Each structure stands twice: as C-alpha cells, then as structure tokens.
Structure 1
Amino acid sequence: MLKKKVIFTALAALVMTSSLTMVENTVFAATTLSTTENTFAKEALSTQKISSAFNTQAVPKTITSNEIGINGGYNYELWKDHGNTSMTLKDGGAFSCQWSNIGNALFRKGKKFNDTQTYKQLGNISVNYDCNYQPSGNSYMCVYGWTRGPLVEYYIVDSWGSWRPPGGTSKGTITVDGGIYDIYETTRINQPSIEGNNTTFKQYWSVRRSKRTSGTISVSKHFAAWESKGMPLGKMHETAFNIEGYQSSGKADVNSMSINIGNK
C-alpha cells in the first residue's frame, strides 16, 4: 500500500507540474501575442500620423455666390452682380470657374498687402500661370490689383474674349515676356472701388497684342513702364490672377498659378 501511495503521489505531482507548465506557456503565448498586436497597432498608428503630416493637399472647395477668404495660401474672391457662377478652389493658386447669364462677374486668387509699401519696396513681383481659358463673349484673363495714394486699379491682360480691352488710344508699348503689350490709361468717375461706392480713380492697362494662356507675367516691369509714361502708382494693396466676364458665359481652369515677391 505504501508503494502504491507513493506512486500515486508522484504521478499527481507530475500531472500538476505539466498542467502548470501548460498554463504558463499559454499565458506567455497570449501575452506575447498581445504585445505583438499592440506593437503592430502602434506602428500602424505611427505610419498613419506620418502620412497625415505629409498629406498637406487641400480638399477642393466649390462656391457659387459672393465670397472672399483665404485658400491654399492665397486670398480669393468670387464676385457677381447676378447670374450663375461657380468657383472651385484648389491647391495653391489653382482654381476653376464658370459663369453664364451674368452682368459682371470675377474670379481671382492673389496676395493682399497692407498699403504701406510700394512695389519697389516689396521687391520684384512676377506671376507664373497655366490656364485653360474658354470665354464665350466679353471676358478677359489678367493680373489685377489696386494701389492707394494714388488710388489706381490696374490690369495686365494676356488673353480676352470677343472684345480686346480697354479701347482708346495707346500711350505706348512695353516688350516683355516674349510679347508686345499696349499701354492704356482710363478714368473712372463715381464708381465703386476699394475705398467706397462713389469714387474717382485711374485705371492702368497693359494688353498683350497676341493672346496666350500660360507663361510668366513680370508685373514689376509693367509698373516701371507705366511710371516712365507719367502713370504713378501708390502703396500696394493687391496683386491677383483674375478671370472676369461681362454679359457673357465661359469657363476657365487655372491649372497652376504662383505669385512671386522679392527674391523668391
């Protein structure tokens, strides 16, 4: 009997030891699996964060009524008096627009300044752009802006629709960026401006003789040419790439546009 009891006790101890080892191995395996899963989860989360950090592309935004704001590092504006308009804001200076049944409508992206510096103080200003421009009727594609002191509205027109603006007699020409531009000066009396609804101000124009829809516009060179012809400019308020329509329809895709200031 004693021998049997010893044998049974030994067997029981062996079974208990084996069971305990199996439990320990199971716990270790489960712990290891849990740790591995957490590691993979952390790595996935880290990868997601890195991907998000590098994904700076702006989500396109479409507007259909009058609005101003900032998008892609540029000031933007859609303005119309009436009719159907749509403007989709994209990365950087890019945007697309379309219009119909309007009196007057404009779509633009650009840079606004604080009215304290002249263009010479700001440094060289140029615009690089590429645009699929399809007007039907009276419209133009241009660099546009204002100065204060004196109050001046300015246009550098690279393409247009059925009418070449602004009419009148040219004050001279400037040859720049691979083309010839005619220079014009007009006066607006009791008209809306950045200073109110009933103001009188000058408009300065450079209008390219041959249309184009991509390239570089050396804005500062046009400014210098205007001043050489007795057309003074004030402190800079705005420089923008502009699509404008008058009693017309059309569309434009500004595939890329950048405004470069100073040595940039």
Structure 2
Amino acid sequence: MVSFVHAIVGALVAAGALATPTKAYPAALGKRVYTNIRGENNGFFFSFWTIGEYGNVTYTNGTAGSYSTTWSDVDGFTTGKGWREAKPRNITFSASVKAIAREWYISVYTSTPKGETYIMEHHSEYNPCSAPLATAKGTLHSDGSDYEVCEVDRGADFLQNWSIRKDKRFNGTVTTANHYNYFAAQGMVHNPIEDADYQIFATESFLHGSGSANVTVSEAI
C-alpha cells in the first residue's frame, strides 16, 4: 500500500497536479524527476525537493519536528522540516548523518522567489564561500562559533546568502536573528524572510552521493 501511494504521488507531481498539497504525508516519499512536495505534519511544515533522473531519495516524517531521509547516487535534493512562516526564531536541532558524499550539508534554510539563505551548521568538503562566484562578507560570531559569510549571485537576479559555521556541529541552537541582522548590516540585498516560502532545518546533497540522516527540529522559547 505504501509503495502504491508513492507511485500516485509521483505521477501527480509529474503532471503538475500536486504542486503544494494541503494534506500531511506521514509515510516515506520516493524521489521523482523534479519532485517538489510540500505539506504539514504534526504541526510542522515540510519540504521534499529533488532534481535529476538518477539515484533515489526518500523522506519520512516522524513525530513532532523529526524526519529522516536516505539517498543513493542522487543528482541533488533538499529535504527538511520547520515552519511555513519564516521569522528570526531560535531553532534547536539534533542531527545524525551518515554519508558517503563529497557534497552534503545540514542548515537552516529559507527560500524566496528572489533567492535562498543557508545557515550551515555542518558540511562535508563543499564550501560555497570558496566558489568563484562568491563575494566574501566577513565573519560573524554567533552561538559559540565564527561563521564565514558570503553572497553568491546565481544570475537572473537570484541571490544566495551563506553563513557557514567553522566549528561544525550536529546539535545546538541557531539564533537566526544574528545572521539575518548581519546580512542586512553588510548590505546583502536578499532578505532571507521577506516573501519566504518557508523556513526549515534542511538536509541537502548532490553530485551522486549516498547517505542517511535523522533530524529533529524545534523552536527554542
């Protein structure tokens, strides 16, 4: 029955009939070409996005703010759980990642029509701030570590804000306001939360890596 549900979801997405579902999807979701599934589960918002024709990705909602994801030889994906409304909240997370991949990371992630913002808490070899398109924006100290900050122009007026933690960690609390305020102070044009589609704690990988992750996210009061 679960596999049958996966096949139906994939077919609807391919046909463009399920861009933004309003119902929760508690079972695992299988990867399809250009899949983009969003919904609500246990009071949290979740997003499951993949691109490419190769490999496999699954996303499974758990209790409250928990989720798990597995991937194998995949072109690229971003999955995560959080909130529909993006705001400068304090986000507590705990993650366990086992990966054979040159490029993977976990981060607080927001997406808007004008760009993306990553507050990266742990990553493998890939550092976007070392890329040729990156413009350095200095160093921010927050939550017990320095963060390397940069801006990447992807063209067509689409900007990425990156804040990359130097003392990598798999659990802790992210004071997002510190990052958002720093971006503004540095004159970074893209606003991370204005017109944001959502705010999640995301797992992302690309370039045919494989691995698994178990993540729990909540808002620190």
TM > 0.5: yes
Q: Who wins on radius of gyration, i.e. which is larger?
A: 1
Q: Distance in 2 between matches of 1:105 and 1:166?
A: 20
Whole-Å separation in 2 of the counterparts to 1:59 and 1:183: 35
Residue equivalent to 1:241: 201
Cross-structure match for 1:55? none
Equivalence for 1:128: 92
Counterpart contact for 1:158–1:207, Cα < 8 Å: yes
Write the letter of the residue equivalent to 2:108.
Answer: V
- Name the amino acid aligned to 1:78: F
Report runs of 4+ in structure 1 exceeding 4 Å deviation: none
Query: Which structure has greater helix proportion?
Result: 1
1:90, distance to aligned residue in structure 2 (A): 0.6
Paired position in structure 1 for 2:139: 173
1:199-238 correspondence runs (5 A): 200-232=157-189, 233=191, 235-237=194-196, 238=198
Structure 1: gaps of 5 or more residues = 1-57, 114-118, 191-199
How far 1:236 moved relative to its partner?
4.3
Partner of 2:45: 75
2:108 equivalent to 1:143: yes
* One-letter amino acid matched to 1:144: Y
Supply the distance in 2 between the matched residues of 1:217 and 1:165 (Cα, whole angstroms): 20
Aligned-residue offset at 1:147: 4.2
Matched, 1:257 2:217: yes
Matched, 1:107 2:79: yes
Q: What is the rounded CA distance, in whole Å, between the counterparts of 1:106 and 1:235 in structure 2?
A: 21
Native 8 Å contact 1:68 1:75 kept in 2: yes
How much has 1:59 moved relative to structure 2?
Answer: 10
List gaps (5 residues or longer) in structure 2.
Answer: 1-23
Aligned pair count reads 184
Partner of 2:30: 64
Match of 2:18 in 1: none
Is contact 2:138–2:149 with CA below 8 Å preserved after alignment?
A: yes
Which residue matches 2:126? 163
> What secondary structure sits across from 2:182 in the alignment?
helix
Cα distance between partner residues in 2 of 1:185 and 1:127:
22
Q: Distance in 2 between matches of 1:59 and 1:222?
A: 32
State the partner residue of 1:94. Answer: 66
CA distance in 1, matches of 2:112, 2:178: 16
* Structure 2 CA distance for partners of 1:244 and 1:147, relative to 1, 3 Å: same
Match of 1:40 in 2: none
User: Higher strand fraction: Structure 1 or Structure 2?
Assistant: 2
TM-score, structure 2 normalization: 0.76
The amino acid of 1:145's aligned partner reads T
| RMSD of aligned alpha carbons | 2.1
Find the aligned partners of 1:59 and 1:246 in 2 and give their Cα distance: 24
Percent of aligned positions that are identical: 28
Provide, for residues 46-103 of structure 1, a one-character-per-residue CA deviation record: whole Å limited to 9, x for no partner. Answer: xxxxxxxxxxxx9952111333211111111222123211111011210011101111
- Could you give the per-residue CA deviations for residues 18-38 of structure 1, whole angstroms, max 9, x where no partner exists? xxxxxxxxxxxxxxxxxxxxx
| Residue-by-residue CA offset, 1:184-207 (whole Å, 9 max, x unaligned) | 0011124xxxxxxxxx31111100
| TM-score with structure 1 setting the length | 0.64
C-alpha distance in structure 2 between counterparts of 1:189 and 1:231, whole Å: 15
Distance change (3 Å), C-alpha of 1:111 and 1:136: same
CA deviation digits over 1:90-129, x for unaligned, max 9?
112100111011111111112123xxxxx7xx5x411100
